Structure 1
Amino acid sequence: MLPHLRGALLNASFLTLALVLGEFTVAQLLGFTPFVVWIYSVGGSQAQLSVAVSVLSLLVTWALLLSLAVFGGRSRTSAAKG
């Protein structure tokens, strides 16, 4: 089982690295501060604000994923038919 997972985990790691570096590079080239970097820099002077924004982004992400699961998924009857 583990030899089969090695390729998948390696590919997932490369894709994750490419996405993260791409987001950071594009934001820096356009003159924007990436969200995570902004939270970290604000955290040094205003810890409560960085925690509040982090929790808010977590809740927004959770709500978006929940709405995608509810509205974007196939219904059980159509999944059973085909």
Structure 2
Amino acid sequence: MARLTKVQLADGRIVGLSPTQVRAVRAIRKAGTYYAYDGISRATVAALERHGLVTVKWSVLTWTARRTYRNRSMCDWVARPVRGA
């Protein structure tokens, strides 16, 4: 099991973040705006959003495949760091 890093948030809460989540927060803060498919998983971004470290705008694109007539979906997101967190 990964060792959790304890982080104190701006509102005083203490949360445990995995090493992957710590790297993701640093990358988002460095970039300012981070897009889907740039190397951070949806699960990691969702966990950071639950903790209040980033704000995420989610969108879902759905289309119908031409030959099979099946619906296909793709989840997009844009993450930005929260000021003061």
Whether TM-score is above 0.5 comes out as no
Structure (1 or 2) with the larger CA radius of gyration: 1
- Answer 1 or 2: which has greater strand percent: 2
TM-score under structure 2 normalisation? 0.27
Q: Name which structure has the greater RCO, CA cutoff 8 Å, separation 6+.
A: 2
TM-score under structure 1 normalisation? 0.28
